[in-house]
Structure 1
Amino acid sequence: MKNKRERSNEVNEPVSMEDVVFGKHATIEALQARRGNKLFIQEDLKSFKIEELKELAKEFSVPIVWAPKTRLDEMTNKENHQGIVLKITPYEYLSLEDLLAKSKEKENRFFLILDSIMDPHNLGSIMRTADAVNVDGIIIPKHRAVGITPVVVKTSTGAVEHVPVARVTNLSQTIKKLKEDNVWVFGTDMEGTDYTKWNVAGDIALVIGNEGKGIGSALKKEMDEMITIPIDGHVQSLNAGVAAGLLMYEVHRKRRN
């Protein structure tokens, strides 16, 4: 009975959604990054991927708790957790200074600045692409923007463990500091240089605007150049995640060539 009561207490311990990641890929990446505290697995789940997770948890000394699906649904607000939820230590953001120092020795650095992205799915997909094309870091504002949430981690399929993220108070001041570090800053807008003619040489930063409003008017004044993606159909703009992905791959394509 004692073991059963202890197990029950572990299953029912208070866990906030902000304290977890979920899904196989996000959980594996978080475990390998040594951010796991406790692994919750759906009690009736049996598969090769579960055995793999159990071995990984054992390797990093992370205790495992078997829990009913209803408990995992509760911990994740009924997101698609795949029967796997990992309680983690808080995500550690970098300062701008730390981000620049981390990439100081690199040539042709590429940073992404996100101006008030609100949708966690957009941020997650942007981070996934950023990892694929070796972006050196992402910069987001502390206020009026989504941070690294469990949904972001799940959508990024664990890319958050590989792409450094700096959280700053003022984007305008941040851009000024980037320019002092010889980084050219490009914005995205309906009018500007066609992205296929974009000169991506040297250290650059690309600013992606808010899903509805785009880049703020004050921030636009800080841009060295505006880049546009031509649109011939009826829609006026692309989804922020799609536009960011297209432009990141344009930088990647030109630099590979």
Structure 2
Amino acid sequence: MTGYHAICAAISSVGPQDAHATLYLHGQGSRGEQLERLARIHKVTVRRVDRREIDRIGGEKARGAVLVAALAGPSVRTLTDAIASIREQQAIVLVLDHLSDPHNLGAILRSADQFGVDFVVLPSRRAAGKTDAVLRSSAGAAAVVSTVEVPNIAAALEALKKADFWIYGADMTGEPVDQQQLSGRVALVLGSEGEGLSRLVRDRCDTVVRIPTGGTVDSLNVSVSAGILLYEASRQQQRFRDPS
């Protein structure tokens, strides 16, 4: 893992199960010193290495710091466990139907953190996973947002329905999202960058929604769409308040 913010977030999430986490540092500077202090607080091993070694471990994007760890983090749960952990009558779950771009996934996880998503459901195969690019794009959110990997997204939606979640799929042909009641237990489903929602997934959605727009381009980037939909759900559920 590389990137200052991603490493900070990951180190802060380190627990006793992550005893083999190691932070490799090269050079001097305030950020390196801050990372080293944080690592020592969380009992992460720190090793000072030369430039060649840091490039070998983390590649050219390492910029002086690499965290090597098999972080369990908040993602080691089954879907059943994740659903059972939600006690409240209001909840927001985000389901991603085979996104392929790690930068989109990282940006979406960043929005999920900001808007109080309870957990994110990801496919275990044929989709972007928690790579270094995702961790960097998420500015560290990938290390703190709860995620669940499942072999079958359609089956996951059925499990959410049984737990009283209302499933909203995102598609340009849907109903305006601002006219929907997103209170209660809500699951928002977004499709892949090229294909959108698969047929099996769309068939399991209770309601299909769209974001009203007025531009000349035919659609929004999936990470932008996710941020807008999560904001609307979070706003309706009053998950945050303007400090002013």
**Quick one: distance in 1 between partners of 2:213 and 2:167?**
23
Show the counterpart of 1:53: 35
Show the counterpart of 1:33: 13
Specify the structure having the higher radius of gyration (Cα). Answer: 1
Show the counterpart of 2:192: 210
Offset at residue 69 of structure 1 (A): 3.2
Q: Answer yes or no: is the 8 Å Cα contact 2:108–2:227 preserved in 1.
A: yes
Provide runs of 4+ in structure 1 moved above 6 Å: none
Amino acid at match of 1:78: E
Show the counterpart of 1:224: 206
Show the counterpart of 2:70: 89
**Quick one: distance in 2 between partners of 1:223 and 1:85?**
41
Tell me which of 149, 164, 189 is aligned to 2:171.
189
Deviations 1:46-87 (A, max 9, x none): 2222222222222233222222334333333433x3321111
Offset at residue 106 of structure 1 (A): 2.0
SS at match of 1:61: coil
Amino acid at match of 2:12: Q
Amino acid at match of 2:110: R
SS at match of 2:167: strand
Deviations 1:28-47 (A, max 9, x none): 222222246211112x2x22
Amino acid at match of 2:85: K
Q: Answer yes or no: is the 8 Å Cα contact 1:121–1:155 preserved in 2.
A: yes
Q: Answer yes or no: is the 8 Å Cα contact 2:13–2:144 preserved in 1.
A: no
Offset at residue 161 of structure 1 (A): 2.7
Bigger drift between 156-165 and 186-195 goes to: 156-165
**Quick one: distance in 1 between partners of 2:103 and 2:71?**
19
Offset at residue 230 of structure 1 (A): 2.6
Q: Answer yes or no: is the 8 Å Cα contact 1:23–1:83 preserved in 2.
A: no
Show the counterpart of 1:24: 4
Amino acid at match of 2:23: L
Q: Answer yes or no: is the 8 Å Cα contact 2:10–2:144 preserved in 1.
A: no
Deviations 1:195-230 (A, max 9, x none): 211210110100011001100012111110000113
SS at match of 1:243: helix
**Quick one: distance in 1 between partners of 2:177 and 2:7?**
36
Amino acid at match of 1:98: D
